Amino acid sequence: MIKQNNTQMDASYTGKWHDNLWPPFTQITSAIAPQTIRHAKGALLFKEDGTTLIDAISSWWVTLHGHSDPYIAKAIYEQAQTLEQIIFADFTHPQAKLLAERLSQASGLQRVFFSDNGSTAVEVALKLAIQWWHNQGESRHQIIAFEGAYHGDTFGAMAVGERNLFNEPFNKLLFPVCRVPWPSTWWGDYEVENREKKALDHLETLLEVPTAAVIIEPLIQGAGGMKMVRPEFLQKVQQVVRQSNALLIADEVMVGFGRSGSLFASQRAEIFPDIMAFSKGLTGGFLPMGVTMASKKIFENFLGDDPKKTFWHGHSFTANPLGCAAANASLDLLEANPNSYLNFEHRHLPFLKDISKHPKVTKVRLTGTIAAFELKTDESNGYLNVAGKNIKAYALQHNVFIRPLGNVIYLLPPLCIEDSQLEHCYHVIKKSLDCF
C-alpha cells in the first residue's frame, strides 16, 4: 500500500501566487504557486528558468499535435491578415464552410452549430434535444446520464454531470436527471458483463418514461476518472435508446479527433448518435471553439414560418474565422498522418504492461492515446485522494507534467511525443510509486 504523505514536495517551487489571477479547480490557500511557462514546442514546456517539462496530458487534453505546431500557426497567421471575426448570424466565411463540410463528412451528421468550448457545445446539444421534442408538440423532459459523468461547468452541463463537491452549491438550481451505472472495465476484469447487464436493465426501466435524450461520453469518461467501457456495451445502449425513440447525444469533447484510437470515439464504438459535441482537440489546442453536430432529422424540425421553432441560441465568437482556420489545419494534419492516432495504443502498450506488474497498481486500462491505472491506497478512491498529488509532485521534480485525478494516474500525451519522451514518463511514474 502507498504510504500517504500530506506534505507536498515543493522543493522545486519558488515564487508566490499572482495578485490578480484566479486559477481553475484550485484552492489557493493550500495549493503550491504555479510555475511560469515561457514557451512550448512539441511535447515540451519550457519553464522560466530554462528547464523543460514533458507535457504528458496535452495541457488539459487540448494540445493534439503538439505545442506551437508550425502548420496550424501559419494557418491562423494567414487567416488573421484576411478576416479575424464576423457576426455569424448574418454572414459566413470560407473557413466555416470548409470546416462544416469536413466535419459533416467525417461524422455522418449534416448540420454544424458553432459555440465557444466543450461545456457550451454540450449546452447546445441538450437544448437542441429538448426543443426538438417541443417543436413536435410532444412534452419530453427526462434526460438520462451516466453515473460519474462530467460534461462541463455551465448549468446544463453540470446538471447532467455527476453531482459532487464541484457543483454542490448549485444543486438546488440544477434540473433533475436520471442516472445509469457506468460499467467501467480494466485489464483482467471478469465481472464486466454482469455490471453491463445491470446498467442496461436500469436504463430500460428508466426509458419506460418518455425521454428526451440519453447523453454519454463514448468509450471513456474523462474527468470522472478515465473510466473506460467496452464498445459492445455502447452498442447495446444505442439499441435500447433507439427502441424508446429517445435521442442519443455523444459528448466527444475529450475523446474526439483521434484521442480514442479512431477519429471519433463513436466510430470506434460503432454507434451513430443523433447529436455530437466537440471541442478540445478540434483546433489542435490553439484556440477555444466548440461544435455541436446534429442529424438532418434534428435540423429540419427547427424549420418553418413559426418563429417559435427557431433555435434561439448563439455566441459572440460563433464560427470565429481564426478558430475555423486552426481546426481545418488540424484536420489536414490528421488526414495526412492517420497512423499518428490509429497506432498510438501500441506505443503505450509495452510500458503499460510493465507498470501493471507493480504491486501498487490496479485497474489498468488503455484506449487509443489514453492510458490509465489506479493506485492502491489506504484512502477512499476519488478526486480528494492525496496519492495522486504526491505522484504529480515527484514527476514535476523529474521533468514530467501529469495531473492525476485523485488516485487515478493517466497519460494523455500529444500525438507528436517521441518514444523516448513517452518512455521517460512511464519511468518517472514507476519510480514515484516506490517513494510513497
Split at pLDDT 50, 70, 90, the class of 128 is: very high
- State the Cα–Cα distance between residues 109 and 128, nearest whole angstrom: 14
- State the Cα–Cα distance between residues 277 and 96, nearest whole angstrom: 17
- The predicted pLDDT at position 43 comes to 98
Q: Is residue 1's pLDDT more than 70?
A: no
- The predicted pLDDT at position 435 comes to 82
pLDDT tens digits for range 146-195: 999 999 999 999 999 999 888 999 999 999 999 999 999 999 999 999 99
- State the Cα–Cα distance between residues 303 and 313, nearest whole angstrom: 15
Please name the residue ranges forming H helices in 191-271: 192-206, 231-244, 265-269
- State the Cα–Cα distance between residues 38 and 41, nearest whole angstrom: 11
pLDDT tens digits for range 26-58: 888 888 888 899 999 999 999 999 999 999 999
Q: What is the mean pLDDT of the chain?
A: 94
Among 263, 266, 229, 236, smallest CA distance to 251 is for 266
Mean pLDDT, rounded, for 69-89:
98
Among 168, 263, 291, 271, smallest CA distance to 215 is for 271
Strands 37-41, 227-228: pairing kind: unpaired
Q: Is residue 277's pLDDT more than 60?
A: yes
Among 38, 60, 39, smallest CA distance to 414 is for 60
Mean pLDDT, rounded, for 122-142:
96
As given in the structure block, the three cell numbers for residue 287 are 484556440
Among 40, 72, 70, smallest CA distance to 58 is for 40
Q: Is residue 283's pLDDT more than 50?
A: yes
Yes or no: say if 253 and 279 are a contact pair by the CB < 8 Å rule. yes
- The predicted pLDDT at position 429 comes to 98
- The predicted pLDDT at position 15 comes to 58
Task: Say which DSSP state 8 is in.
Answer: -
Among 345, 182, 184, 211, smallest CA distance to 274 is for 211
Residue 305 one-letter amino acid: D
Q: Is residue 240's pLDDT more than 90?
A: yes
For 227-245, letters b (16+ CB in 10 Å) and e give: bbbbbebbebbbebbeebe
Domains and CATH numbers, the chain: 37-68+343-433 (3.90.1150.10), 83-336 (3.40.640.10)
Q: Is residue 9's pLDDT more than 50?
A: no
